[in-house]
Amino acid sequence: MGRPRVAIDRERLAAMLRQGVSEADIAKAMGVGQSTIGRARRALAAPAVAGGRAPSASGEEIPADVASIDGLLAIVLRNIEDADAHGAYATLGNLIGKATALHAARRRALPPPEADLDASPDMLLAKQKAREAFHRLLEQCDAGKY
């Protein structure tokens, strides 16, 4: 006879999978076993998401330190490969947006590069003009004008 079937909200499951939520997190949220979610996901023909939930693209869940961002970015990039391999293009688009948000957050979290004033184009031009003026003065001194 077996156990009674557990009703799963398929629309909610599909929405959570599109957001990049892992099967373990979905199972906890719905109060069912992870294998139940796995079977339901396979019935929907949705790709599996490798461990952990990807952050939202809104930025409210993105941490501020570079190490955490790198960890989340690795999860998202792995999920992008899985979604691409399974042809889940809606999920792929969502994950690409998340990867873009993480790259931007990582760039903001890094310290600004140290400015090298000698490398700016204005300073290089000024250096060249000063060198030419100096050499002209040396030539004039050698010619006895000063």
84 shares a domain with 28 = yes
Q: Based on the fold, state whether residues 95 and 132 are members of the same structural domain.
A: no
Q: Do residues 23 and 91 share a domain?
A: yes
Residue range 67-79, pLDDT digits in tens? 888 888 998 899 9
Give pLDDT, residue 66: 84
Q: Does any domain span residue 98?
A: yes
**Radius of gyration for the alpha carbons in the chain, expressed in angstroms and rounded:** 29
Residue at 33 is within a domain: yes
Whether residue 134 is found in the same domain as residue 80: no
For residue 17, give the nearest of 29, 7, 3 by alpha carbon: 29
The whole-number pLDDT of residue 21 equals 82
* pLDDT for position 133: 94
92: in domain: yes
pLDDT of 136 reads: 92
Residues in the chain where the model's pLDDT stays below 50: 46, 57-60
Same structural domain for residues 71 and 35? yes
- Domain shared by 134 and 79, yes or no: no
Here the tokens at position 42 are 């396979």
Is residue 93 domain-shared with residue 30, that is, in the same domain? yes
32 & 95 share domain:
yes
Contacts of 26 (CB under 8 A, 6+ apart): 13, 16, 17, 37
* pLDDT of amino acid 86: 87
Residues 102 and 131 in one domain: no
The H helix count followed by the E strand count for the chain is: 6, 0
How many domains in the chain? Answer: 2
1 lies in some domain: no
Domain extent for 76: 10-112
